[in-house]
Amino acid sequence: MSDRKLADEKMKEIEQTASVWGRLLAQEAFPDGPGLDVSLADMEEIAAVATKAIVRGAIGTMAEEQAQSLDRQQPCPVCGKLCDVSRKPRAVAVRGGSAELSEPVAHCSKCRRAFFPSTQSTAD
Ligand SMILES: [Zn+2]
């Protein structure tokens, strides 16, 4: 993780928040409580589906916010010409599931090549 990783205290807050979401999820899945016919595997399946959805939503949102922070034009890494940035959807596998990113991409007409402006470098 980068130097800008969240402090341990903030990570504990996020874990506590997610734990509350887990209790809410249980109430959403079984408003009257799970019947005795609901197995541990059934409960695990519900939690796993929710976990993957949280990963998709969180990663997609954070990556989108980074992409939006980029200027509309980025310098070509080869010649330095300012090039218009557009977006290209890309599915990525991440821990705990997958996410759909709207990845910034630019094309340099001078070098006749595409490049992917890094959203990571703006954080430095
Ligand atoms: Zn170029």
Q: Find the 117 Cα to ligand 1 centroid distance in Å.
A: 12
How many distinct helices (H) and strands (E) make up the chain?
2, 4
Q: What's the pLDDT score for residue 119?
A: 65
Average of per-residue pLDDT values in the chain: 90
Q: Find the 120 Cα to ligand 1 centroid distance in Å.
A: 20
- Helix 8-29 to helix 40-69 angle (10° resolution) is 130
pTM for the predicted model, two decimal places = 0.75
Q: Find the 73 Cα to ligand 1 centroid distance in Å.
A: 13
Contact between 86 and 78 under an 8 Å Cβ cutoff? The reply is no
pLDDT per residue as tens digits for the range 48-89: 999 999 999 999 999 999 888 988 999 999 999 999 999 999
